[in-house]
Amino acid sequence: MPSACWAWPDPVDFSARHALVTGGSTGIGFATARVLALRGARVTIIARDPGRIEAARAAIAADGGTVCAQAADVADATAQDRAIDAAEAMFGPISLAFANAGTGGAFGPLTQVPDAVFETVLATNLTAVFRLLRRVLPGMIAARAGSIVVTGSLASVRGMPMNPAYVASKHGVMGLAMAAAAEAAPAGVRVNCVLPGFIDTPMLQQLGDDPDAVRSRLGALVPQGRVGTAHEAAELVAFLLSDAASHVTAQTIAVDGGILGTLMPK
Ligand SMILES: NC(=O)c1ccc[n+]([C@@H]2O[C@H](COP(=O)([O-])OP(=O)(O)OC[C@H]3O[C@@H](n4cnc5c(N)ncnc54)[C@H](OP(=O)(O)O)[C@@H]3O)[C@@H](O)[C@H]2O)c1
C-alpha cells in the first residue's frame, strides 16, 4: 500500500524497471524512451527502420541510458512477439509499456478507401496494441505491478474528415485501453491513454513541405498558439507510467495545448 507521502523513494525514478516503447525511434516514442532511460529505466525500443532505430539507440546510450533496439514491424504478430521475447531475455520482465507505434494512414474520402488500406492502418494502430497488451499483461498481473500507456489521438474522441481508418483505429485503441484497465485494476496494474494534439514530429511534418509553415499553420489552431514538442508529450507519458500516478488508471488525457477542452470564439 503506497504511503501518504512519496518523498522517498522518488516516484519518477524508474531504476530497476524494464520499459518497452514501440515506435521508439523518432518523435513521441523516442522522446519518451529517452526520458525513461535518463530516469533509470532499462528501455527497449521497437520500430521498423534499422537505420533510424540504431540512431535512436545510440543517442540514448550516448546520454548514459541503458537501451536496446529491436527492429520489428508491430503489425507482424510474430515479429512483435519475437522482439519482446528478445527484450525480456536481455532486460528481464517488462513492467512498463508504451504502445505508441502508429501510422498516420492515408488521406482520402471514406467512400474510396480500399480494404487493404483500412486493414493496414488497423493492423498497426489497433491490432498490434491488442497483441502487445495480451503479451505483457499476464506478467504484470502476476507481479501485481505494472503500467501501460497507449497512444490515441484527438481522433480518438472526434471525427476527422478524409482519414476514416485512422479515426477508427484511434477510437479503437482508446477503448482497448479502457477495457484492459478494467481487467487489470484489481491486480494493481494501470492502463491509460494519451491523446497528442499537434505535436512536432516526423508524422506531423508529413502534412506539408515546409516544417516552419506546418508549425505555424497548425499552431494557429491551438489555444496556446503553438504546436507541442515531443518532449512535452513524453513528460505526460512518463508521469502516467510512474508511481507518481499510482491511483490513475482507465483515463484518457490530451496533451494538446487546450484544443479539446476549450471553445475559442474569434
Ligand atoms: N505527432 C502528432 O501530432 C500526433 C497526433 C496524434 C497522435 N499521434 C500518434 O503518436 C504516435 C507516434 O507518432 P509520432 O508523431 O511520434 O510520429 P513519428 O515520429 O513518425 O513516430 C512513429 C514511430 O512509429 C514507428 N512505426 C510506425 N509504424 C510502425 C510499425 N508498423 N511497426 C513498428 N514501428 C512502427 C516509426 O518507426 P518506423 O517507421 O521506422 O517503423 C516511429 O518510430 C502515433 O501513434 C501517432 O498516431 C501523433
CA separation for the pair 130, 99 (Å, rounded): 9
The verdict on residue 12 lying in a domain is no
Distance 102 CA to ligand 1 centre (A): 4
Contacts for 213 with CB less than 8 Å, ≥ 6 apart: none
Distance (Å) from CA 127 to ligand 1 centroid: 15
pTM exceeds 0.95 for this model: yes
Number of domains in the chain: 1
Please list every protein residue whose CB sits less than 6 Å from any atom of ligand 1: 22-29, 46-49, 52, 73-75, 100-103, 124, 151, 153, 196, 198-199, 201-204
Instruction: Provide the pLDDT for residue 10.
Output: 83
Cβ contact 51:257 at 8 Å: no
In a domain, 54, yes or no: yes
Closest CA to 250 of 128, 102, 148: 148
Indicate whether 216 belongs to any domain.
Answer: no
pLDDT bracket for residue 4 (50, 70, 90): low
Close Cβ partners of 216 (under 8 Å, ≥ 6 residues apart) = none
On the question of a cis peptide bond just before residue 9, with omega within 30 degrees of 0, the verdict is: yes
Residue 7 predicted with pLDDT over 70: no
- Let me know if residue 221 belongs to a domain: no
pLDDT value of residue 264: 83
Is 154 in contact with 222 (CB distance < 8 Å)?
no
The CATH number of residue 95's host domain is 3.40.50.720
Residue 213 covered by a domain: no
Residue range(s) defining the domain that contains residue 160? 18-201+230-254
Strands 42-47 and 18-22 come out as parallel
211 located within any domain? no
Note whether residue 222 is domain-resident. no
pLDDT in tens, 166-223: 999 999 999 999 999 999 999 999 999 999 999 999 999 999 999 999 999 999 999 9
Q: Does residue 13 lie within any of the structural domains?
A: no
CB-CB contact of 255 with 197 (8 Å): yes
Q: Which residue's CA is the closest to the ligand 1 atom numbered 44?
A: 102
Residue 114 burial (CB count, 10 A)? 10
**CA 229–ligand 1 middle distance (angstroms):** 14
166 assigned to active site: yes
Q: Which residue of 20, 21, 22, 28 sits with most ligand 1 atoms within 8 Å of its CB, as the best mutation to test the pocket?
A: 28
